[in-house]
Amino acid sequence: MWQQEAGTLLRDRREAGHRLAERLQHYRDREDVLVLALPRGGVPVAYELAKELNLPMDVFLVRKLGVPWQPELAMGAVATGGVRILNRDVTSALNLRESQIEDIARQEEQILHERERLFRGDRPAPDITGRTVILVDDGLATGSSMRAAIAALRKQNPARIVVAVPVSSAATCEELSREVDEIVCLATPEPFWAVGQWYVDFSPTTDAEVQELLARARQQNSRAA
């Protein structure tokens, strides 16, 4: 179900999380629900949402696999949980060799593992199987990272995937609504140029802030992710 409401400027990511929590009250206190944030900007949003709804929270990392000579063109993605996704239409059309694909995938998997160690330490990735997952980011423009996250999550057999974002382009929100079980886009203003234009404070979220919020989330919710 695609839900949206007319939006005004958000004060910051913290307010965004509070407002999303108001729309997702039906998931409060549910033991089968897990909140996953796309770092880094999605983490403070997800933290406030998870705190208000008394849900466990973790991060879900995604790294795009770019074509060797055109890195901005995605040929796939790698994600938390050792998931690798390839777009065979792209790799076949460009006559990419398996060795080329493997080289890029290994590089991006190494970066992803380093980021996971930074954010999660020695804790294992959360178990997704059979759970309802609320995927959170601070906004959607093209939605490429969120699409990769959705595709990666599908491979881990969740019961239900919910996307929750404070602001999105209308087209992206509508397109993603066909890929998930539920989507909440608080505001879909037009014209839409960038996520940051809809926040009063869109300061970059640092790695240290991500680590601190994840630690606080674990302390506040004893249910293991």
Write down the pTM of the prediction. Answer: 0.88
User: Which residue is it, tokens 């929750």?
Assistant: 164
| Radius of gyration of the chain, Cα coordinates, nearest whole angstrom | 17
* From the candidate CATH numbers 3.30.43.10, 3.30.1310.20, 3.40.50.300, 3.60.110.10, the one assigned to the domain spanning 63-120: 3.30.1310.20
Residue 141 pLDDT: 86
Instruction: Quick: pLDDT tens for 70-111.
Output: 887 889 889 888 888 888 998 999 999 999 999 999 999 999
- CATH class label, 2-60+127-220: alpha beta
| Residues 6 or more apart whose Cβ sits within 8 Å of residue 32 | 130, 131, 132, 159
Q: Map out the domains of the chain as residue ranges.
A: 2-60+127-220, 63-120
Instruction: Give tens-digit pLDDT for 129-160.
Output: 999 999 999 999 888 889 989 998 999 999 99
Across 36-46, b (16+ Cβ under 10 Å) vs e yields: bbbbbbbbbbb
- Token pair, residue 215, equals 């630690």
Nearest CA to 221 out of 81, 28, 25 is that of 28
**pLDDT reported for residue 223:** 57
